[in-house]
Copies of this chain bind each other. A is one copy, B any other.
Amino acid sequence: MRGFLRSKVRVLTASSPTISPPDQHYDDLANRLRSIGQRATPQRLLVLAAFQDAGEHLTADEIYARISERSPTVNRSTVYRTLETFRDLGVIAETDLGGGVRRYQLLDHERHHHLVCHDCGDIIDLDDDVLEPIRRAAAERYGFSAEIDHLAIFGRCQFCRGDE
């Protein structure tokens, strides 16, 4: 489990305060955004609300559609930019599950990953512990902090391997 708002965003100039603790619900979303030097705009709160209402693995367009129902003036670009910001902040994870569309999900629970079969399209959940060796190697060899929040690994499942 990780903090809700993890790190500073690229262009943040002032020093970033430390991260709010994990495991809380988002009653005070606005304050959390402010606490890391981010503005709490209605558009951003709408994006977060959309995630809370809906399930996982939303596309940008699905989020935009949900928001438009309540606030028709919110722009598509803003949704994309907000998603980019939240991704950089570690609030959400971005994944390309194939099919040419990226999907997003809140990072408020255990990270998980997917094995995607490019023959039959089947998607298998993969526990996060499998990625520990990579994080460790990146840190030990290069001092690099790998932020692998929601990885999609392509390949072929056991059934399609048998088809050859």
Chain A residues within 8 Å of B, Cβ to Cβ? 7-8, 10, 15-16, 88, 96, 115, 117-119, 124, 126, 130-131, 133-134, 137-138, 142-148, 153-158, 161, 164
Contact = CB atoms under 8 A, between A and B. Distances in A.
Nearest to A138: B115
Contacts of A88: 118
Contact of A157 (B96, B118, B137, B144): B144
Contact of A153 (B7, B138, B155, B158): B138
How many identical subunits does the complex contain? 2
Contacts of A144: 115, 117, 124, 155-158
A75 to B, nearest CB: 18
The SS class assigned to the A binding surface is: mixed
A96 B118 CA distance: 18
A7 B119 CA distance: 11
A119 B130 CA distance: 26
B147 A156 contact: yes
Contacts of A137: 126, 130
A153 B134 contact: yes
